[in-house]
Amino acid sequence: MLLAIDIGNTTVALGVFRGKELIKEWGIRSVREKTADEYGITLLELLRVSGLVPGAIKGAIISSVVPPLTPAFQALCQNLFGVRALIVGPGLRTGMPILYENPGEVGADRVVASVAAYEKYGGPVIVVDFGTATTFDAVTAKGEYLGGAIAPGIQISAEALYLRTAKLPRIEVAKPKKAIGRATVSSMQSGIYFGYVGLVNSLIAEISRELEGQPEIVVTGGFASQLGPEIKAPHHHEPHLVLEGLRILFERNKEEGPAA
């Protein structure tokens, strides 16, 4: 079995694959101060309650946008499962040309999600990942990663409004019944929610115009189930897109990795 690990700013997503099947997935908090031992205890307990045996893990792959946590999970894979995890980054074959001005600047999760989206839907394709930040990634019909856009996530936007004003409260991100708020909270929810929906649809439209052909649109991330239905264009919701991409990349590179 394969252990796929996606280390994000807010959440670490973990998935166990048996062949191409994702048989179990979890999300745990991303805490930079935690050690490999602390994360190891958590993962062992998750495996235990799921009826999975640690010894069945024969390979591992990691994508990370939190560099301080990468060594902890590398050590975890080595200590618990005796495998050397593949790391998404320079030197790992993706099968996707990166046409960014500086390819090293592209977040690992953005590349992995783009690989998975192109593998499933072909190109051109736009990937919208509603995470801590909301990212928009464009892939050509030939499978080339062009780049995209990065916007503050909707939760960050709400927190910024609370933190940078004297009298506005912290609110729940939720769709209000009307755009015209009749109270402070509903007014804030209107501005944040409907304003954010406008941002998403506008960026998708602009990126679509720059791609040749009618792109497929794939949405993923923590807020995808809430914001995805607001996208005007036809789209696909893939909640485990990055984990699936990690599996694909592991298969493309496993003959080079000691984990194989």
What's phi and psi for 28, nearest 5 deg? -125, 160
pTM: 0.91
Q: Please check whether residue 87 is in contact with residue 62, taking contact to mean a CB–CB distance below 8 angstroms.
A: yes
61 - beta bridge partners?
4, 86
pLDDT at 125: 98
**C-alpha distances in angstroms, 233 versus 4, 7, 84, 239?**
31, 30, 42, 18
CATH 3.30.420.40 fits 2-87, yes or no: yes
Domains of the chain, residue spans: 2-87, 103-239
pLDDT at 1: 95
pLDDT at 255: 61
pLDDT at 91: 86
| Single-letter amino acid, residue 61 | I
Give the whole-number percent of the chain exceeding pLDDT 70. 98
CATH 3.30.420.40 fits 103-239, yes or no: yes
Interatomic CA distance for residues 96 and 223, integer angstroms:
27
pLDDT digits (tens, 9 = 90+) for 5-17: 999 999 999 999 9
pLDDT, tens digit only, all 260 positions of the chain: 999 999 999 999 999 999 999 999 999 999 999 999 999 999 999 999 999 999 999 999 999 999 999 999 999 999 999 999 999 998 899 999 999 999 889 999 999 999 999 999 999 999 999 999 999 999 999 999 999 999 999 999 999 999 999 999 999 999 999 999 999 999 999 999 999 999 999 999 999 999 988 999 999 999 999 999 999 999 999 999 999 999 999 999 986 544 33
pLDDT at 138: 98
What's phi and psi for 56, nearest 5 deg? -80, -15
Give the chain's mean pLDDT. 94
What's phi and psi for 71, nearest 5 deg? -60, -35
- Single out the catalytic residue among 6, 109, 129, 137: 109
**C-alpha distances in angstroms, 191 versus 158, 194, 250?**
10, 6, 42
Query: Under DSSP, is residue 12 helix (H, G, I), strand (E, B) or coil?
Result: strand
DSSP per-residue string spanning 40-103: HHHHHHHHHHTT--GGG--EEEEEES-GGGHHHHHHHIIIII----EESSTTS--SS-B-SSSG
pLDDT at 203: 97
> Do the domains at 2-87 and 103-239 have one common CATH topology?
yes
Q: For 105-141, b where at least 16 C-beta lie within 10 A, e where not — what string?
A: ebbbbbbbbbbbbbebbebbbbbbbbbbbbbbbbbbe
pLDDT at 256: 53
* Residue 129 a catalytic site member: no
Per the listing, tokens 């928009």 go with: 136
